[in-house]
Structure 1
């Protein structure tokens, strides 16, 4: 079958191991299903896989792609939930020490077909296109969990999103606005800030700029470059919810501010199958849809990977079959 895969790890030149070609057709074991992929979205996790991060060398070649949407053999339209837990685990699968994602242990969704546990094929709402649905499983689910499970925010409170254009950031803007939050956003360029405004941000600011007031919560995916600003932006008792550190994993601690103002820092990773189902219902009810920055046929996947590395798009990059 056709697939986009990492032939081998390459830490210094990840795109050199990106391969478009043929891979064996997968066979679904008992309890798993085969999904015919119609669209799949690109995540930074796929770049890390190409670099060999979070995957052992003997697991290559590895088909890339955590997210996707497609059809079951009976024609049912589904959205992929990419967190695959231990069958013996009960409760929140993001806390399962044996959990894995597509592309870490199991082959990914950038292919004609992908196999997943039956529970990981979630019914797609009618109001969401296949391309839009392909964005839900990682970036949007991460944003949903950050707001609705981790932050404790209530409608009317003020949230700050650090970074205006990434997949998680654009989802945070749209979900926060739909949930009744006052949404502030920082962005490095006027173009990126304009995207945030179009998606529903109430106010936008250049990265690092002093804000007109303090916020109840900051949503972080950037890390070192924005951390000091995030800490200074919070009201006493406020919270930072962090799900990534794209600019570096070692921000200054600022411990005095942390304890004196009784700030909270909470980590968040992906989301559960139930949260994905709830989010899909919320999106359908709210009438919102993900920002698609670039849509390409899967055969041109390298263009999408290069665009992600260059930071030249806003929103999600989606490949179609």
Structure 2
């Protein structure tokens, strides 16, 4: 047998709305070309996000974009040996300012091939120097989950250290990042979890107190951080002080939450949407981690060839921090 042409990759072969794992393929894809202004990155580690499951289902991606290499996040090495962390939001070349507001922005795996491969190509500005003290696996967690959490907490919430925050659903990638970032920055951090195991994880990561999902809290909080949606929304609204804020970056349990508009206007609450983050915010996040010593909680680290195991764990909700694939 001759040598296989192309590179190793984990990809979505076709959209499979009802059985996402049926689309998951571990195999070979063509080596990428490198357009002007882009760079080739030899991938050392990449982390799994809920977004990858949506891609397998065909959400947010046109059918003609398949096959699509999965993986929004990664860390690796440029051709010149520079160690980098990837920023996964790619704005239109003509856009200036906050790229998360660009209507034509895209994420890796939406229009451009992702990081679950030997090699990925990204615009040169999307490859940021990796701090020395951060491993490739840790760096691979930064671009989506940790950046999303950083923007929610430090850019969108308008909250101050010393105030109390509630993180709903404490074991997912964004939630674990919020707990760690909030603790390191001097917030009083409370978290909810569906199981004793998930609540223990939140405590281990720095939560000052943990509660069962939907539990009545000892007092109302200044801000709630939401990635769960329908299942926790009413509890989030009821948990806020007058004038408090909910920052929302996801709705994994379903988007059709009851808005509770009477509570919203009567208590003058704020509901703020937040999506991903900017390149500059990622640069600041990397510096924050270097300065504070905060590191992402990696729940599972697997060779990329065993990616299916990681996908199964995420699909089953068996997360305890980030799932990372390494080369």
User: How high is the TM-score relative to the length of structure 1?
Assistant: 1.00
Match of residue 41 from structure 2: 35
Give the deviation of 1:303 after TM superposition: 0.5
Question: In the alignment, which residue of structure 2 is the partner of 1:79?
Answer: 85
Q: Which residue of 1 is the match for residue 147 of structure 2?
A: 141
2-side partners of 1:46 and 1:120: how far apart? Answer: 19
Secondary structure (helix, strand or coil) at the match of 1:45 reads: helix
Partners in 2 of 1:173 and 1:253 — Cα distance? 25
2:189 pairs with 168, 183, 188, which one?
A: 183
CA distance in 2, matches of 1:228, 1:17: 35
Match of 1:314 among 308, 313, 320: 320
Matches within 5 A, 1:149-298: 149-298=155-304
Give the match's secondary structure for 1:137. Answer: helix
Provide the C-alpha distance between the structure 2 equivalents of 1:269 and 1:61, rounded to a whole number of angstroms. 26
Distance in 1 between residues matched to 2:255 and 2:200, nearest whole Å: 28
Q: Which digits, 9 at most, give the CA deviation of each residue in 1:182-206, with x for residues without a partner? A: 0000000000000000000000000
- The normalised TM-score by structure 2 is 0.98
For 1:267-307, what per-residue CA distance to the aligned partner results, in whole angstroms no more than 9, with x for missing partners? 00000000000000001101010011110000000000000
Whole-angstrom CA distance in 2 between matches of 1:267 and 1:253: 14
Q: Distance in 2 between matches of 1:64 and 1:130?
A: 18
Aligned 1:124-139 pairs, distance under 5 A: 124-139=130-145
* Alpha-carbon offset, residue 11 of structure 1: 0.3
Report the Cα offset of residue 313 of structure 1. 2.3
Q: Give the length in aligned residue pairs.
A: 321
Q: SS of the counterpart of 1:205?
A: strand
The alpha carbon displacement at 1:17 in A equals 1.0
Q: Is residue 73 of structure 2 the alignment partner of residue 67 of structure 1?
A: yes
- Inter-partner Cα distance in structure 2 for 1:253 and 1:31: 44
Which residue of structure 2 aligns with residue 107 of structure 1? 113
Paired position in structure 1 for 2:3? none
Equivalents in 1 of 2:217, 2:157: separation in Å?
Answer: 20
| d(CA) in 1 for partners of 2:21, 2:278 | 31
Please report how far the alpha carbon of residue 253 of structure 1 lies from its aligned counterpart in structure 2 after TM superposition. Answer: 1.2
User: Which 4+ runs in 1 deviate beyond 2 A?
Assistant: none
Aligned partner (choices 24, 27, 33) of residue 21 of structure 1 = 27
Structure 2 unpaired stretches of 5+: 1-6
Q: Which runs of 5+ in 1 are unaligned?
A: none
Separation in 2 of the partners of 1:171 and 1:260?
32
Q: 1:4 aligns with which of 10, 25, 32?
A: 10
Give the SS at the match of 1:30: coil
Query: Following the alignment from structure 2 to structure 1, what is the Cα–Cα distance between the partners of residues 235 and 56?
Result: 32
**Alignment partners' CA distance in 1, 2:99 and 2:33:** 24
Distance, in Å, in 2 between the alignment partners of 1:21 and 1:155 is 47
CA distance in 2, matches of 1:59, 1:227: 34
Which of 89, 95, 98 is the aligned partner of 2:95?
A: 89
- Once the two structures are TM-superposed, the CA of residue 311 in structure 1 deviates from its matched residue by 1.1
Q: In structure 1, how many angstroms separate the alpha carbons of the residues matched to 2:280 and 2:259?
A: 34
**What corresponds to 2:62 in structure 1?**
56
Following the alignment from structure 2 to structure 1, what is the Cα–Cα distance between the partners of residues 176 and 41?
27
Q: Distance in 2 between matches of 1:275 and 1:63?
A: 26
